[in-house]
Amino acid sequence: MPKVAILIYSVDDTIARLAENEKKGIEIAGGKAEIFQVPDVSSSSSDKEQDDDEGKVRKTNADFSYKILTRETLVEHDYYLFGIPVKFGNFPVAWKTFWDSNTGGLWAKGSLHGKMAGLFVSGAISGKGDTEMCIMNAMSTLVHHGIIYVPLGYKNAYKELTNTDDVNGSCAWGAGCVSGVDGDRPPSASELKVHQLQGRAFYDRIKDL
């Protein structure tokens, strides 16, 4: 059975909820997956003040029951779904720090070459520009490691992706969620469904490889 890792960074419950639905989709398709959390990065005092000004309490690894992502996790699994909370159309610092600090040796040895990955995201506003840009920017990291990208596309979620009566942060690049500027909008039923559909489609794609 393919070993699938769902790798996330979540400062609140949003990405974690999306990950659980991706996992559910994989299970519906007959597979199994485990969720791992990107290691925390210590914030500077200026970052902490900004968080306080916004009235947010950011969650840490201790607030989740998931195992912590390590470089060994990447080596031991052949298939990944990356969950990314969008920061200015890119990885947040914790994700970028993990890639930069832990995977240089893996890149040099080609340890991740040929592995396959899909991505799902959460962004503050609708319109999909920032979330699509985040996934596009993530391509640079995947390409340098030789990781094969598996997009969501329209085939399995056409109805949800083309419905103009409901806000849905998903796109052809990957499932998504509009979390609101303050991060207080929970994923909609439609958005959660697309994450299940992505998990299912991803596993259907890899199960016979």
Is this model's pTM higher than 0.85 or not? Answer: yes
Distance CA 72, CA 169 (A): 32
Neighbours of 163 (CB within 10 A): 12
**pLDDT tens digits for 187-207?**
999 999 999 999 999 999 999
202 in Cβ contact with 26 (< 8 Å): yes
Q: What tokens appear for 70 in the block? A: 């390590």
Written as one letter, the residue type at 99 is W
Cβ(152)–Cβ(174) below 8 Å: yes
| CA pair distance 92, 108, nearest whole angstrom | 24
Is the separation of the CB atoms in 192 and 168 below 8 Å?
Answer: no
Using CA atoms of 28, 3, 64, 96 in order, give the dihedral in degrees to the nearest 10.
-120
Quote the pLDDT of residue 49.
40
Contact call for residues 146 and 114 (beta carbons, < 8 A): yes
Cα torsion angle, 188, 193, 195, 198, sign:
negative
Distance set, CA 139 to CA 20, 90, 104 (Å): 23, 11, 16
Using one digit for the tens of pLDDT, what is the confidence trace for 64-103? 899 999 999 999 999 999 999 998 889 999 999 999 999 9
Q: Angle formed by the axes of helices 14-28 and 189-206, to 10°? A: 50
pLDDT per residue as tens digits for the range 123-177 = 887 666 788 999 999 999 999 999 999 999 999 999 999 988 888 899 999 999 9
Average pLDDT, the chain: 90
- Residue ranges per structural domain of the chain: 4-206
CATH number of the domain located at residue range(s) 4-206 in this protein: 3.40.50.360
